[in-house]
Chain A
Amino acid sequence: MKKLMKGNEALAAAAIYSGVKCFFGYPITPQTEIAAYMAKHLPKAGGVFLQAESEISAINMVYGAAGAGFRAMTSSSSPGISLKQEGISYIAGADLPCVIVNVMRAGPGLGGIQASQSDYFQAVKGGGHGDYRLLVFAPASVQEMADMTVTAFNLSDKWRIPAMILSDGVTGQMMELVDMDDLPEICRYDKPWAANGKGGRKKHNIINTLYLEPEELEAVDMEREKKYERAKAELQDWEEYMTDDAEIIVTAYGISARIARAAVNAARSEGIRAGLIRPKMLWPFPEDAYKRDVKAYLCVEMSRGQMVEDVRLAAGGARVEFYGRCGGMLVDETEILNRIKEIHDEGNI
């Protein structure tokens, strides 16, 4: 049955459905509903909710819980996610699965509390130190907040790569109908590597990121890189809308994609063959979506242009334009439409 839920709450409910054992949080707008929901509902489901003393502690608690073999999660918003970067790097370095939620607000610094997409670089390119990647999901609806959370737990366990749900203040706060009875299936994986007390095991398990011999660390890094390459081949995920005959393809993720879709409809009604590519995962980036014959891409983001760099790389030599708003301002349907028209009217189409 469908019910009306906030994005943040749907995400939290889906995490409980996924069997999350622990949630470690710290208050920050606009993600606090996740912690509030967990505080109320996770203990009833046999899990642990703990408000940590900082985001640094919260992510390190995740390291401990994930290292012990349990599904663990933390959520925050941009400034708090910056604090988590140390822990995220360690989690990635120890090949631990977990889910980290960033309900993005505007930065840099304290920035503002309105929605933004300016943490794309941080999520997709690293954020913390070292060669590592996260599986990054980009929900564009309350339903996807729920669905992608289940998938994030599944894939993170399967690949032993930490997952991030890269949402934003609008998607987190808005209410929509969501079907919580039709979530993706839960997949369980054995975790023989977990440090959970030896029990009958002969050898002790060690969760570690230290390799003092450069040869050894290089080998570990290269092995992980192979896994990343496999993930790139297998996990790219995107949605297309009216792209079959499109000359101008708008590309956007999350809340921007919903607004861009309306602009694409408006362009179509004016006779312009516009379409939309919406990445559902940002890492691995859906490079394959941009291997096509098209006159121009228009990348739309709530930032000063971050994903656009990956679109340019994926699009080869194709023309890539950018339109963005920042500071907590939403992208505007009319402004997107005007950019589509400008590109269209430039005569080379």
Chain B
Amino acid sequence: MKVIYEKPKSISDKTFHYCPGCGHGIAHRLVGEVMDELGIEDKTVAVVPVGCAVMAYDYFECDVMEAAHGRAPAVATGVKRCLPDKVVFSYQGDGDLAAIGTAETIHAAARGEGITVIFINNTIYGMTGGQMAPTTLPGQVTQTSPFGRDPYTQGWPLKMCEMLSTMTGPAYIERCATDTPAHIRAAKKAVKKAFTYQIERGAYSFVELLCACPTNWGMTPGEARDRVGSEMIPYYPLGIFRDICDIKEGK
């Protein structure tokens, strides 16, 4: 019998604690597949966030550091500066990356730190039970925006790819989604390209993945998947925002 689909070797056998339909599972798999394909599991250090992915150290088979909330890019900087030949990536949610860790995010990008940042945008604080995130859409109801986010009193959503692409430091910035097979394939290509930029050019790369949080959106997995396409993508357009090396995929 021929195996045509299996769990990436860079992902452990532990059962994910993620909810059904959660984008984290897809994102983990993509990173795992890329680690396998590039053969880098043995030379990679992952820095994982505070958020629903806090226990990703049990899922990634590479070495892992668990960072304080928002500090993953600083921790990754410390690792990469000591181990420039190793592959270092941070994996962060939107509260982690775009609220409490905004300064760390921007300055790691400004320095063009040779790391890869995988950014999970699910427009909500998942782990703490569904509060407003910096990426929560205008009008979106959350625990702390019970009448819908009012941008005039609660601020406008941060568009991280757009913000970071104004900077000179980053080499590659792309936003992808995890709602359809085609989008997931594109996301895989982007993640692989991001790691390749780091490995071949020592460059900073950033991939935003639009993900569903069915539990805190109060939706079924199917409804949540549909919302990624119907509400998130129109506000957070997919595409490459910056690419200064133009390495061809698969190299």
Residue contact A64 to B62, C-beta cutoff 8 Å: no
Query: In terms of DSSP, what is the predominant structure of the interface of chain B?
Result: helix
Residue with the highest number of chain B CB atoms closer than 10 Å, among A21, A50, A64, A70: A64
Number of interface residues of A (CB under 8 A): 39
- Does B57 make an interface contact (CB < 8 A)? yes
Give the segment of B64-72, B155-163, B189-197 that binds chain A.
Answer: B64-72
CB distance from A100 to the nearest CB of B (A): 14
Instruction: Tell which of B42, B64, B81 touches A206, judged by Cβ atoms closer than 8 Å.
Output: B64
- Does B43 make an interface contact (CB < 8 A)? yes
Instruction: Tell which of B41, B45, B54, B81 touches A196, judged by Cβ atoms closer than 8 Å.
Output: B45
Residue contact B66 to A207, C-beta cutoff 8 Å: yes
- Does A68 make an interface contact (CB < 8 A)? yes
- Does A334 make an interface contact (CB < 8 A)? no
- Does B63 make an interface contact (CB < 8 A)? yes
A195-B45 in contact given A54-B103, A57-B104 (Cβ < 8 Å): yes
- Does B181 make an interface contact (CB < 8 A)? no
Residue contact A205 to B74, C-beta cutoff 8 Å: no
Number of interface residues of B (CB under 8 A): 35
Residue contact A61 to B62, C-beta cutoff 8 Å: no
A64-B76 in contact given A53-B107, A196-B83, A197-B86 (Cβ < 8 Å): yes
Contact with A along B32-71 (1 / 0, CB 8 A): 0000000001111101000000110100111111111001
Residue contact A207 to B64, C-beta cutoff 8 Å: yes
Residue contact B107 to A57, C-beta cutoff 8 Å: yes
CB distance from A280 to the nearest CB of B (A): 30
- CB neighbours of A50 from chain B (8 A): 77, 81
Contact with A along B72-89 (1 / 0, CB 8 A): 001111111111001100
Residue contact B64 to A195, C-beta cutoff 8 Å: yes
Residue contact B83 to A197, C-beta cutoff 8 Å: yes
A60 to B100 Cα, complex, angstroms: 14
Which chain B residues have a beta carbon within 8 Å of chain A's beta carbons? 41-45, 47, 54-55, 57, 60-68, 71, 74-83, 86-87, 103-104, 106-107
- What are 11 A-B pairs with beta-carbon distances under 8 A? A22-B81, A24-B78, A52-B74, A58-B74, A60-B75, A64-B74, A195-B79, A197-B87, A198-B41, A200-B42, A207-B66
